[in-house]
Chain A
Amino acid sequence: MTRRSPLADWHLQATYRSAEAPVWLQDCSWRQRFGCKGPQASTWLESLGLTVPQPANSCAMDTNDVLVARLGATEFLVEAMGLHGQTVVGARERFPVPGVYPVIRQDAAFTLGGPRANDLLLETCSYPFASDANGTLVVMTSMVGVGVTVVPHRVRDTTRFHVWCDPSFGLYLWSTLVEIAEEMGGGAIASDGLKSTLRGES
């Protein structure tokens, strides 16, 4: 059975742009991820060998390209940012774990990039990302009226933004942002058009 992106219907009639576009969005919903919360969540993630960030609203990446984002004191989002998600799938299959509550994460997820990415954010989101792109920040805010989690990340001299939202809002959020990006000369790029990772390796 094939997992289906919340943006799958959009891709059916998609026109993709080049990764050189001034602003682009790439659907990353296919990535393996899970969430967890509970009093033992942090300890359990550490026991799996994952790098767990200490302050809330921060994130960390381990050597296997697994992102651990701390969304609150005891709540986490874990995602395999690379193509291989075995670590994440393996961890997900260990539930139930005492003191750790599984959080289903079927998010619409995408990466926003390009030299004009921040311009698009300034039109759609009231958070000042430009001043906070230090690579460890997790921002939970609203974008075009939709609750999103955003991780800004520096890649060479530009900032990319990894965005997650509830899948039921995914199509609306994605379509709206793509429309604005197209007005800026950009748009959506194919999922395999840019081998993007949080580390910016390509």
Chain B
Amino acid sequence: MRRLPPLSGEWIDRKQPLAFTFEGQSFSGYAGDTLSSALAANGQKIIGRSFKYHRPRGLLSVANHDSNAIMQVQHLGRVIPNVRADVTPLEDGMRVTAVNTRGGLARDSLQLLDSLSGFLPVGFYYKAFHSKRFFPKWERLFRNLTGLSKLDLNSSRRRTPKRYAFADVLVIGAGPSGLAAALSAADSGAEVMLVDENAWPGGSGLYARGGQDADARQTLQLMERVRKHTRIQLLCSTYAAGYYADHWVALVTPTEMVKVRARALIIAQGAFEQPAVFRNNDLPGIMLASGAQRLLHRYAVAPCDRVLILTANPQGYAAALDALERGIDVAAVIDLRTSPGPASSQLAERLDARGIPVRTGATIGSASAGRDGCLRSVVVNTRVQDEVASVTGESVQVDGVWMSVGFAPAHSLLLQAGARLQFETALGQYVPSSLPAGVFACGKVTGVYGFTSRLTDGTRVGEQAAAYVQRRAPKLRSTASTLGLTEMPSHPYPIASHAKGKNFVDFDEDLQLKDFANAVQEGFDSIELLKRYTTVGMGPSQGKHSNLNAMRILSKLRGEPVERIGATTARPMFHPVPLSHLAGRSFSPERATPLAKAHEALGAVWMLAGQWKRPEYYAVAGLARAQAIEGEVRAVRTGAGLIDVGTLGKIEIHGPDAAEFLDRVYAGRYGTLKVGMTRYGLMLDESGVIIDDGVIGRLADESFYFTTTTGNSASIYRELGRLATQWNMKIGLVNATGHYAAFNLAGPLSRRILTRLTNIDLAQASFPFLGLREGTVAGVPARLMRVGFVGELGYEIHVPADSALHVWDALLAAGSSEAVRPFGVEAQRVLRLEKGHLIVGQDTDGLTDPLQAGCEWAIKMDKPFFIGQRSLKVLEKKPKRQQLVGFQLVAPGATLPKEGHLVLSGGEMAGRVTSVTRSPTLNAVIGLAMVTPAVAASTAFRIRIDGGREVDATITPLPFYDAAGTRQKMVEAP
């Protein structure tokens, strides 16, 4: 390996030398080098150790897909784990180390595992380490033995915010077809974003030259046109990590994640060159031909001095010509095929003219390493019907093998986008058979391999994408997908078995050919099962070099064609993505009422209720939580309490069809509701299940104001809007949830306090229980509802949000002589449970109907229609599956059960506790439970509490408190 003389189009800047270390050894490179190219230029053949057997490994693809080219970098005070050396630019002062070694790369003590590989076949841990006693020890051992980089928690942090971007046409891949597509789309008037994972565009147009420069020159011209084009934005060093619905694509740049919404998408990602499988095919020095060409032409690095080309397509012959052109001795070209195609034959003639031997119908049977652990020689065998014909063969001394036996299209993003693929036998690869609207593909990913053909294909597709965006018919129609194909680019089975194994199929996971045979023999004979058992494709490269060969091997083992094997599912992320990019800044919206600061000043302890922050209770110095809550409960029962209920959904409905609309969406009757009155409302879904509840008040003949539960306001508003449109009703809906603040002033003294602040006549005759009035409170326009959720005389006061603090403060001040006390959600839960009121979503679940919940009184089955009515008619005739009942613990001092604890009857599960509390008013533990009808008809049950103990409960009629309802209706307030 060595640096070559300057080459036209090379990516390095020889005027900017850079110093770095690898494994403690000092090296130098140039600006424009990647870590991989700089190491290769310095003759560093071994760059890592394999994951499982710790075998020495070198460069394979130089294309960003190799687990062996993952490194750890220290630079500018940061320790960066799992750096992908193939694409990471070299920087001055970098300290680079190999990953997954013990004692360093050269002296890795774990290389012993390679000699023990016979005892460590695929799945050995499934069979060996299943003892419960010893498994934790084995787990620790293997966790210590495996892994890649070491995370440094002291490394400096940096922010990685995400960003949105937009384009008419997003072209992924800036090789020849991508460049042509971008230019074509932009020339047609589209705003184009063109991305490529490499530092420069051009793709194989610049490195796969076949000993000539014509294609490279044309590629450079395209690049120059792209650079100057005002409608093309080029993003290099950027890869598309995943496709999401509606043409959202996650782009990963060196510093951030960019979420692009494109109106059309062109996939021009090309194809991954695939390795051949033969014994010791992982020795440093053996690499993909395209990887060698990248080193040659991008970085002016010779990967070896004497190379043997193993091929099955014209690209391998072209690579041999590139090697000769750059002064590398070519020992021979070995072609797996007995009859190379016309393109290969033409190139073979050029090689023959330069004295390079070409042997067809042959393969490499095995490779051998020298004392340095790198490739020293290979044995070339005759190949007969996919097998190595003889163990003995011709030994060839080389320090390099370049493999060019086929390609796997990079179609992961296409699959994520919903494309359908079909196996094209003539190509030996899958190609798109149908693409979703707005998604296009061109180049090698569609089976188009010739340089000129790719330009033609890209131009066609670019124009079609622009036409799609511009909503016009395309000017360039589709042509055959395999433009100019003269011979198959991929060999159907570039795999040679060997009695001694070590013929690797998956370099990430050290999977050998025999591992697949063993997996199939054990019954894991579908591609998804095989993947999970062997872990093929589950390493850092995600199968880019192994999935196709795995399919071929399974196909042979099952005796079925490859197209019958199927492919594994392609999911985002397509490439490994730094966790820092994914973390970034996350957005979790929180809602707050206008009283947040006031609550804090009063000692609120917060809880989350959906997106809302609500006071759970108000802390009191010297009192525990339970005592503070108990004090709040007593204040409401004996004097007055004030709670912020601004989180309730608040919706107005206006229009001539308003009452009819409410009659349809709620189970109760509202057409008969008098102006100035409210009524409880229960909302059901089509299956009769309770989905929400609230209070509906009538403001005027054609205007209503109603509340929903805190968590459901947005979804209920959306659903009502949908229904209004569907039913074509003359109504207007207003979501006023955040715009109105609301408090509940409750307790026997509430009327006395409120009288001091309002112009509304609060006398029973003027403002009865369930009444609704509009007036002012503390000078602020307000809506008041006399409701009784907590079971006392109470007023729900709704005011514009910008006046909330004024009214809240005024109420507390006005009630100071009555010791009015703010109370939180927890006290409210106790109070409502004493009153026997259910909470939708807590005491009901996704199957609870009003009959089970004991809410028959809230449904009017004689109405012509309401949502859920039809299902209730059916349910009425069936025995109940469950029923909500009240209960009280026999022993008031017993351990408090929790919500969700099991109800037992006769030792059998018979339900669950839905709400439970210790009632300070009743000095008892009370609760609600959803139980079987048989239990509901009985008088008692048991509850299994934490630790498996059981407590006795008696079924108790509801409500627990003030059964006559006299307190909330309180005619004469004290």
Contacts and interface: CB of A to CB of B under 8 A. Distances in A.
B739 A106 contact: yes
A48 interface: no
Contacts of B737: 166, 168
A137 to B, nearest CB: 15
Interface in A1-49: 1-6, 9, 12, 29, 35, 37-39
B385 interface: no
Nearest to B166: A128
A144 interface: yes
Interface stretch (A83-91, A119-127, A152-160): A119-127
Interface in B726-772: 730, 732, 734, 736-740
Interface residues of A, number: 43
Contact of A1 (B161, B590, B591, B779): B779
Among A6, A74, A173: residue with most chain B CB under 10 A = A6
A32 to B, nearest CB: 11
Given A4-B806, A123-B162, A38 B736 contact: no
Interface string A104-119: 1111000000000000
Interface string B779-807: 11000000000000000000011111110
A3 B802 contact: yes
Contacts of B135: none
Contacts of A106: 738-740, 800-802
Given A3-B802, A104-B739, A167 B164 contact: no
B655 A38 contact: yes
B592 interface: yes
A3 B803 contact: yes
Nearest to A104: B739
A194 interface: no
A75 to B, nearest CB: 8
B589 A1 contact: no
A173 B261 CA distance: 23
B590 A172 contact: yes
B159 interface: yes
A131 interface: yes
Interface residues on B, range: 35 or more
A134 interface: no
A199 B802 CA distance: 27
A183 B589 contact: no
A131 B803 contact: no
Nearest to A29: B802
B588 A101 contact: no
B165 interface: yes
Nearest to B730: A39
A140 interface: no
A101 B655 contact: yes
A169 B165 CA distance: 25
A64 interface: no
A126 B587 contact: no
Contact of B163 (A4, A29, A96, A122): A122
Interface in B581-624: 585, 587-594, 596-597, 612
Contacts of B740: 104, 106
A39 to B, nearest CB: 8
B734 A101 contact: yes
Contacts of B837: none
A5 B800 CA distance: 11
A139 interface: no
Contact of B734 (A3, A4, A9, A37): A37
A139 to B, nearest CB: 13
B592 A168 contact: yes
A131 B164 CA distance: 14
A131 B166 contact: yes
A180 B167 CA distance: 24
B834 to A, nearest CB: 30
Given A12-B597, A104-B736, A171 B592 contact: yes
Contacts of B588: 145
Given A101-B732, A171-B592, A4 B738 contact: no
A166 B585 CA distance: 23
A172 B163 contact: no
A166 B739 contact: yes
Given A101-B652, A172-B592, A4 B739 contact: no
Contacts of B674: none
Interface in B642-689: 646, 652, 654-655
A101 B654 contact: yes
Contacts of B592: 168, 171-172
A123 B596 contact: no
A102 B732 CA distance: 10
A4 B809 CA distance: 13
B626 to A, nearest CB: 30
B739 A122 contact: no
A176 interface: yes
A146 B655 CA distance: 29
B129 to A, nearest CB: 45
A180 B590 CA distance: 17
Given A104-B739, A176-B587, A183-B159, A168 B593 contact: yes
B263 to A, nearest CB: 10
A70 to B, nearest CB: 15
Contacts of B780: 1
A2 B809 CA distance: 13
Interface in B917-972: none
B802 A104 contact: no
A6 B646 CA distance: 14
A105 B652 CA distance: 13
A123 B736 contact: no
Nearest to B658: A101
Nearest to B700: A96
Contacts of A128: 164, 166, 261
24 contacts: A2-B806, A4-B806, A9-B597, A29-B802, A37-B734, A38-B654, A101-B652, A101-B734, A104-B736, A106-B739, A106-B800, A125-B164, A126-B164, A128-B164, A128-B166, A130-B166, A144-B587, A144-B589, A145-B588, A167-B594, A167-B738, A168-B593, A168-B801, A176-B587
Interface of B: 159, 161-166, 259, 261, 585, 587-594, 596-597, 612, 646, 652, 654-655, 700, 703, 730, 732, 734, 736-740, 778-780, 800-806
Closest 10 A-B residue pairs measured CB to CB? Answer: A168-B738, A101-B654, A166-B738, A128-B166, A168-B591, A106-B739, A101-B732, A144-B587, A106-B801, A145-B589
